[in-house]
Amino acid sequence: MVRKSPDLFPDAPRRPRRVLMAVIDCGNPPFAGMKKFFVHLVCSKCGHDDDWSDFPTKTESQSQPCPKCNTPEN
């Protein structure tokens, strides 16, 4: 029998889930001294193509939110 722990903050508002973009292609820096990663990002949900972007780390490039899917609806 599995016991479910009680919710400590039942009325707390929860942040909506983010839609992250997927890395389609990545490339090395064009010069030997550069320390940036070039990646091509595309959203798998809406198909938004962000084209090529540069990021300082590989981890930062993999956690980019989609600008179309994550816009707050007014």
Task: Determine contact, residues 68/44, Cβ cutoff 8 Å.
Answer: no
* Four-residue CA torsion sign, 68, 43, 23, 51: negative
Q: What percent of the chain has pLDDT over 90?
A: 26
- Residue 60 has a pLDDT of 87
Paired sense of beta strands 49-55 and 22-27, if any: unpaired
User: Is the pLDDT confidence value at 34 over 80?
Assistant: no
Domain residue ranges in the chain: 20-28+35-69
CB 42 within 8 A of CB 24: yes
Q: Check residues 49 and 62 and name the one with the higher pLDDT.
A: 49
Q: Across all residues in the chain, what is the average pLDDT? A: 84
- pLDDT on residue 46: 92
